[in-house]
Homo-oligomer: A and B are copies of this chain.
Amino acid sequence: MRISPEIESLLSLLSRLPGLGPRSARRVVLALLKNPQGKMLSLAQALEQAASTVKTCSVCGNVDSSDPCLICSDPTRDQSVVCVVETVGDLWALENSGLYRGSYQVLGGVLSPLAGQGPEDLNSRSLFHRIEEGRVKEVILALSVTVDGVTTMHWLQEKLKPFAVAVSQLGQGVPMGSTLEGLDDGTIAAAFAARKVVNG
């Protein structure tokens, strides 16, 4: 395609973003090119602003423009409950559901012998620091139900045993609105294992 190097490099950067490919990158650039001084520059500035302000929260590992993050410094949230998640994306998904009003611990991954990821690679120190200071009453383990996720939850359970904190795990089973067809074997197995008597 005969196109200016400036547009070419923009297309190339965009097409490597998750969920975008060459075709959708072209659609995005065409939309931005309709208003280069408006939409396009606003997006450039928003990216710069975000890049220059983002920090990792020293309390929970969340990404935000303040440290501690907005969640850790929110007095209306229950800081004595900590939900342990794998990634900031998981935190966002939970925040988006609007269900949860406690705090988080973002591990940044799970234990993975295959990927050479050990306990020292996880962001768990600040969780135990909070627990040792007596600021935590309950820990909710919300890691993904994969081999590595389950291993990591077991490891955390062991590490949490010496402390007087309640430890729980998210319920496992068939997702709401979902049929069995299309679920992976692990989810079906977990749903069977978690079956409940419903006739008293």
Contacts and interface: CB of A to CB of B under 8 A. Distances in A.
A78 to B, nearest CB: 13
A77 B28 CA distance: 28
Nearest first, the 8 closest Cβ-Cβ pairs linking A and B are A4-B65, A44-B47, A36-B51, A40-B51, A1-B95, A10-B46, A44-B48, A6-B50
A4 B53 contact: yes
B54 A47 contact: no
Interface string A128-158: 0000000000000000000000000000000
Interface string A108-136: 00000000000000000000000000000
Contact of A4 (B33, B37, B66): B66
B41 A51 contact: yes
Interface in A1-59: 1-7, 9-10, 13-14, 17-20, 24, 26-33, 36-37, 39-54
A63 interface: yes
B40 A47 contact: yes
Interface of A: 1-7, 9-10, 13-14, 17-20, 24, 26-33, 36-37, 39-54, 63-66, 69-71, 74, 77, 87-89, 92, 95-96
Q: Chain copies in the assembly?
A: 2
A30 B77 CA distance: 24
Contact of A33 (B42, B44, B63, B96): B63
Given A4-B64, A10-B46, 15 more contacts: A2-B70, A2-B71, A2-B77, A2-B95, A3-B70, A6-B49, A6-B54, A6-B65, A20-B28, A30-B89, A32-B47, A33-B54, A33-B63, A36-B50, A41-B51
Nearest to A46: B10
Contacts of A28: 17-20
Contact of A46 (B6, B52, B66): B6
A188 to B, nearest CB: 25
Contacts of A14: 43
